[in-house]
């Protein structure tokens, strides 16, 4: 039996075992394509719209291959969906077809698991040594923190996994750090008394025995940066939410240098090494803080300011010296957790300082005022991805938004695939939704071009008109907190609808209320642009205030744009336009979530219609809604939808 036929047989069994399951053409096409790609060894980019059932499609194809598969996701929500819902149901359904029950495992980074060595309390910590950049300021904070840490330690006696996501309710990052450790701080299972029972090691052992391993883009990135030594050996890599991969890899390769962190290392060092060496680290931290304060918030082009270069040289020299002292300790002391933490921090500081004062070109260097902090991040991760992502395995990259302007070229280039299409193929299986009949894309072409970061009077009037026609039931996606707050103030003053504003309650609570309450409006910024699933008539209008271009002063955006301009290309077209198009498509995708949904996506930015260089490109990157620039037609359609919702209700 051919690979695609075997995959479809497994898919049929899975669909039959799913409550209310039904065969979908796009899902079948994707499943067959993934199986064929794995069989041929050719990489595949596949765009599958909302409602396709892409997870089931690639999972069934993966099982059909009989090969070891790693599935990587960008978000915890999808990771949880796969491990807690999709895979348990799937392995039961396909067992009769395969003649065995496939296994699966979840694998995260070490810091996501409790460290039994830390919990055992072999080495005493005091408040001055607690990990973090600041000590607790007042008694209320201290009491809350202490309760969280105590609950963490109590939970350690009951948990079978040590997985942070299994702790409900959770604890703050600061509290979690008191019971966890990083890979660089860990001495390794062989040199740790808790090694045989280590939660992270047990998770890795389960992953090495599983048919399918579910992980995240962060750990996938770390695996690539460590020459593929972290994840278990596998023949197939499926990257879901692939549109997020470049940002997640960039973030994983980012390094930061904090004066406060250096002072923590100095304080830790006084217990273990020569006090003079520790004092030199503290002096370097003071020098770095002064240099950063003088520099202010900026991206550095070319040579760094002299005071900053001097400070980094002091950081490098003092940390190298402290590392030498640490190396002279006896073997047992070196194995102590405190020594491991100190060594890891010193090595990280030396490496980051070296990146910042090294040859320009590979990294973008900038200063942030909070802290203050010095940051280094790669100008591009395309080379890393090209070298490490595709070797010795077949890669399937899937997402609901992989095409820009109807083509895969931009995303393919960004994730390190050759521009000539050699070694990879692509497929857009569409969506089960009839977008042209289910939704309207309205661009307010008559509005003036947006200028300031807030909400203009004209845009506010149009927003009010649309919300009143829809009688609420509106998801407002804004480019800035200032604009969202202005919209909330306007709608609360001019309407009687319930207006929910991101930041006034937890995001989960706001989304829950939006789903359950008729005629409610939910307004917010970037975290609402993806991952919010509100089917039905409680969301019949999605309003976007402006095209979500990245800030031109954002360091990576600015540096990448300058590099493209210097190479004779358009930095704006190559960097800002694709980023905005993907974000806009994600936002527009909040409207139609089921085949019965109806509604309007309204974009209050006339440039989507009037700009000749990118307007059509961006419209072509959106779902194929029925398109109009006529405000009266849209208001009438919304009014009819509101009437229908009232009748059904």
Question: What is the pLDDT confidence band of residue 134, given thresholds at 50, 70 and 90?
Answer: very low
> What is residue 544's predicted lDDT score, i.e. its pLDDT?
98
Mean pLDDT of 24-43: 95
pLDDT digits (tens, 9 = 90+) for 483-499: 999 999 999 999 999 99
531 by DSSP, 3-state: which? coil
In this prediction, residues 367-386 reach a mean pLDDT of 93
49-58, 320-329, 342-351, 560-569: range with lowest mean pLDDT = 320-329
State the average pLDDT over residues 117-134: 55
Q: Are 38 and 8 in contact (CB under 8 A)?
A: no
Average pLDDT over residues 573-600: 95
pLDDT digits (tens, 9 = 90+) for 384-393: 999 999 989 9
Per domain, the residue ranges of the chain are 3-103+210-251+382-428, 110-197, 255-377, 435-648
Q: How far apart are CA 634 and CA 319, in angstroms?
A: 64
Q: Once rounded to an integer, what is the mean pLDDT over residues 336-355?
A: 89
Same CATH topology for 3-103+210-251+382-428 and 435-648: the answer is yes
Q: Which residue from 271, 248, 268 is spatially nearest to 349, judged by alpha carbons?
A: 268
Tokens of 392: 């010795």
Mean pLDDT of 162-167: 90
**H or E element at residue 543:** strand 541-544
pLDDT at 420 over 70: yes
Name the more confident of 229 and 636. 636
> By the 8 A CB rule, do 217 and 415 touch?
no
pLDDT of residue 126: 41
Q: Reply yes or no on whether the pLDDT at 124 is more than 50.
A: no
Query: Mean per-residue pLDDT for 604-633?
Result: 96
Residue 555 vs residue 527, higher pLDDT: 555
- Chain mean position to CA 186: 26
pLDDT for the residue numbered 315: 98
Contact 185, 337 (CB under 8 A): yes
Are residues 585 and 470 in contact, defined by beta-carbon separation less than 8 angstroms? no
As a whole number of angstroms, the distance between CA 566 and CA 584 comes to 28
Q: What predicted TM-score, i.e. pTM, was given to this entire model?
A: 0.89
Dihedral sign for Cα atoms in the order 341, 342, 347, 348: positive
Query: Which single residue is written with the structure tokens 């902090």?
Result: 373
- Arithmetic mean of pLDDT, 289-307: 94
3-state secondary structure 29-69: HHHHHHHHHHHHCCEEEEECCCCCCHHHHHHHHHHHHCCCE
Cα-trace Rg, the chain: 27
Lowest model confidence (mean pLDDT) among 188-192, 391-395, 518-522, 589-593: 188-192
- Averaged pLDDT for residues 39-53: 94
Q: Looking at the domain 255-377, which fold is it?
A: Fumarase C; Chain B, domain 1 (1.10.275)
Cα(175)–Cα(146) distance, integer angstroms: 8
The average pLDDT across 618-638 equals 96
CA distance 428 to 446: 34
CATH code at 435-648: 3.40.50.300
Q: How confident is the model at residue 139 (pLDDT cuts 50, 70, 90)?
A: low
Inform me whether the pLDDT recorded for 129 exceeds 60: no
Cβ atoms of 581 and 405 closer than 8 Å: yes
| Helix runs in 363-506, H state only | 382-388, 409-414, 435-438, 457-470, 481-494
Summarize the confidence of residues 576-591 as an average pLDDT. Answer: 94
pLDDT score recorded for residue 340: 81
pLDDT-based confidence at residue 140 (cuts at 50, 70, 90): low
What was the pLDDT predicted at 127? 42
Higher pLDDT, 34 or 191: 34
CATH topology of domain 3-103+210-251+382-428: Rossmann fold (3.40.50)
Buried b (16+ CB within 10 A) or exposed e, 219-258: bbbbbbbeeeebbbebebbbbbbbbbbbebbbebbebebb
The predicted pLDDT at position 171 comes to 85
pLDDT confidence of residue 141: 59
Instruction: Give the mean pLDDT of the chain.
Output: 91
DSSP 3-state assignment of 180?
strand
Q: What is the mean pLDDT of residues 157-180?
A: 88
pLDDT at 122: 53
pLDDT at site 132:
45
- Is residue 77 scored above 70 in pLDDT? yes
């Amino acid at each position: 039996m051919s690979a695609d036929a075997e995959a479809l047989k497994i898919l049929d069994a899975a669909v039959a075992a799913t409550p209310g399951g039904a065969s979908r053409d796009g899902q079948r096409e994707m499943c067959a394509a993934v199986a064929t790609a794995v069989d041929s060894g050719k990489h595949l980019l596949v765009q599958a719209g909302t409602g396709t059932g892409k997870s089931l499609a690639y999972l069934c194809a993966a099982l059909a291959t009989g090969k070891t598969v790693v599935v990587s996701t960008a978000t915890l929500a999808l990771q949880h969906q796969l491990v807690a819902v999709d895979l348990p149901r799937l392995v039961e359904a396909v067992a009769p077809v395969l003649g065995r029950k496939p296994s699966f495992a979840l694998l995260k980074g070490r810091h996501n698991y409790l460290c039994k060595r830390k919990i055992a309390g072999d080495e005493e910590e005091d408040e001055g040594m607690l990990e973090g950049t600041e000590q607790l300021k007042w008694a209320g904070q201290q009491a809350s923190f202490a309760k969280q840490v105590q609950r963490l330690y109590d939970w350690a006696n009951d948990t079978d996994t040590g997985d942070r996501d299994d702790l409900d309710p959770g604890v703050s990052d600061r509290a979690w750090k008191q019971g966890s450790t990083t890979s660089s701080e860990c001495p390794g299972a062989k040199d740790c008394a808790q090694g045989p029972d280590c939660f992270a090691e047990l998770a890795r052992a389960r992953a090495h025995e599983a048919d399918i391993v579910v992980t995240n883009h962060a750990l996938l990135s770390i695996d690539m940066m460590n020459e593929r030594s972290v994840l278990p050996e596998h023949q197939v890599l499926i990257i879901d939410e692939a549109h997020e991969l470049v940002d997640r890899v960039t973030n994983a390769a980012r390094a930061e240098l904090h004066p406060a962190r250096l002072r923590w290392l100095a304080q830790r060092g006084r217990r273990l090494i020569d006090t003079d060496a520790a004092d030199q680290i503290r002096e370097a931290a003071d020098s770095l803080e002064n240099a950063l304060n003088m520099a202010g918030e900026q991206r550095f082009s070319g040579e760094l300011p002299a005071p900053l270069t001097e400070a980094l040289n002091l950081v490098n020299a003092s940390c190298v010296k402290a590392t030498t002292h640490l190396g002279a300790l006896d073997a047992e002391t070196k194995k102590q957790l405190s020594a491991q933490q100190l060594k890891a921090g010193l090595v990280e500081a030396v490496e980051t300082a070296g990146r910042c004062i090294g040859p320009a070109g590979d990294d973008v260097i900038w200063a942030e005022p909070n802290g203050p902090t010095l940051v280094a991040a790669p100008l591009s991760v395309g080379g890393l991805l090209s070298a490490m992502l595709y070797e010795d395995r077949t890669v399937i990259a899937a997402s609901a938004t992989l095409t820009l302007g109807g083509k895969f070229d931009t995303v393919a280039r960004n994730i390190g695939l050759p521009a000539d299409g050699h070694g990879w193929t692509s497929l857009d299986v569409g969506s089960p939704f009839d977008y042209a009949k289910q939704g309207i894309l309205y661009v307010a072409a008559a509005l003036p071009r947006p200028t300031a970061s807030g909400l203009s009077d004209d845009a506010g009037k149009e927003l009010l008109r649309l919300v009143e026609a829809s009688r609420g039931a509106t998801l407002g996606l804004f480019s800035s907190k200032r604009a969202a707050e202005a919209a909330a103030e306007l709608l609360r003053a001019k309407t009687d609808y319930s207006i929910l504003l991101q930041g006034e309650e937890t995001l989960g609570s706001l989304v829950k209320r939006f789903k359950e309450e008729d005629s409610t409006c939910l307004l917010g910024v970037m975290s609402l642009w993806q991952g919010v699933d509100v089917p039905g008539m409680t969301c019949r209008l999605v309003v976007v205030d402006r095209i979500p271009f990245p800030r031109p002063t954002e360091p990576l955006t600015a540096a990448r744009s300058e590099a493209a301009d210097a190479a004779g290309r358009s930095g704006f077209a190559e960097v800002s336009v694709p980023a905005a198009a993907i974000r806009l498509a994600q936002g527009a995708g909040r409207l139609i979530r089921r085949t019965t949904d109806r509604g309007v996506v309204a974009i209050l930015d006339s440039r989507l219609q009037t700009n000749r260089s990118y307007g059509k490109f961006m419209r072509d990157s959106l779902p194929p809604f029925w398109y109009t620039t006529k405000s009266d037609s849209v208001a009438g359609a919304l009014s009819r939808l509101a009437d229908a919702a009232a009748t059904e209700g």
